[in-house]
């Protein structure tokens, strides 16, 4: 079937797109996919050219056959209709969302006016007041503690200085005591009391003299060490004055009722 366009100068062309070519033989299966793709592309080009011819200024005011309008217009009307419907849907959804947001904004109550919010605000203010009071008390106590710590530190420093002085005094006293002890030991080693003593062991050799005048009945004797008093070196009974004796190592000295003797 063809369209007669002799009046408008358009050559006759078929109203239907070319059909797929069918070939029989061994190459039919191998070339089927390529023939289908090529035919589809050819059909798209054919419909595009038909639409351009229909929209050209040469056909302005010309009456086209109904079959041509159906074939050419049917390709573009569904696309434009779908696009318009898509825009309508988008615009409707946007208006619906905008109206919902405005409605929610007008209908939702202000949370700051609720009883719970007011109660929480009051509790917060009360807690903040208590916190400020506690902070003031803490600052006062902290200042007092720091003052007391400073006083304690001053006392500790004074005690440390006193301890140093005491230690120094103890060291001096100990030194004097050691000196006195040494002198006493030396004096004791150079002093003869009542009894029998071995020279060189109990007392040092040397000359000794009584510390005070003796009365009658003072006896002193010098013996050879180890003789148990049988080997007399010298002896005497003094009735007055301050007698003296000279002692050597290896001797024993006996003093009776003579008082103490000191080395000269």
Sheet hosting strand 232-238, strand order edge to edge: 195-198, 251-256, 218-224, 232-238
Nearest alpha-carbon partner for 10 in 56, 43, 79, 71: 56
Burial class from Cβ neighbours inside 10 Å (0-12, 13-18, 19+) for residue 169 reads: exposed
238: pLDDT strictly greater than 70: yes
Q: Which two tokens stand for residue 30?
A: 């191998």
Q: Show the tokens assigned to 184.
A: 């006493």
The residues spanned by each domain of the chain are 1-108, 111-189, 191-263
Residue 8's CB: how many other CB atoms inside 10 A? 12
Tell me: the pLDDT tens digits for 32-89? 444 445 555 666 676 676 666 555 555 445 555 555 445 545 544 555 677 777 787 8
Asked whether the whole model's pTM tops 0.75, one would answer no
User: Which pLDDT belongs to residue 13?
Assistant: 47
Average pLDDT, rounded, for the chain: 77
Number of helical H runs and strand E runs in the chain? 3, 8
- The answer to whether residue 148 scores a pLDDT higher than 50 is yes
Give dist(CA 103, CA 85) in Å, integer.
Answer: 27
Interatomic CA distance for residues 207 and 98, integer angstroms: 135
SS3 190: coil
DSSP class of residue 24 equals -
pLDDT at 7 over 50: no
């Amino acid at each position: 079937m063809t369209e007669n366009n002799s009046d408008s100068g358009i050559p006759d062309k078929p109203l239907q797109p070319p059909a797929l070519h069918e070939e029989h033989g061994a190459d039919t299966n191998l070339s089927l996919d390529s023939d289908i793709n090529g035919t589809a592309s050819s059909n798209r080009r054919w419909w595009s050219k038909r639409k351009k011819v229909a929209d050209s200024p040469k056909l302005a005011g010309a009456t086209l056959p109904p079959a041509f309008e159906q074939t050419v217009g049917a390709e573009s009307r569904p696309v434009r209709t779908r696009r318009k419907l898509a825009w309508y849907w988008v615009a409707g959804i946007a208006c619906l969302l905008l109206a919902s947001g405005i409605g929610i904004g007008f209908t939702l109550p202000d949370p700051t006016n609720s009883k719970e919010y007011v109660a929480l605000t009051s509790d917060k203010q009360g807690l903040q007041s208590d916190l400020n009071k506690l902070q003031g008390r803490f600052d006062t106590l902290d200042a007092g503690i720091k003052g007391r710590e400073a006083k304690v530190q001053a006392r500790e420093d004074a005690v440390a200085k006193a301890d140093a002085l005491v230690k120094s005094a103890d060291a001096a006293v100990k030194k004097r005591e050691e000196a006195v002890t040494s002198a006493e030991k030396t004096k004791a080693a150079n002093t003869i009391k009542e009894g029998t003593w071995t020279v060189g062991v109990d007392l040092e050799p040397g000359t000794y003299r009584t510390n005070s005048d003796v009365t009658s009945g003072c006896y002193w004797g010098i013996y050879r060490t180890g003789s148990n008093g049988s080997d007399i070196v010298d002896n005497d009974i003094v009735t007055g004055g301050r007698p003296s004796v000279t002692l050597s190592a290896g001797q024993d000295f006996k003093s009776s009722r003579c008082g103490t003797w000191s080395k000269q």
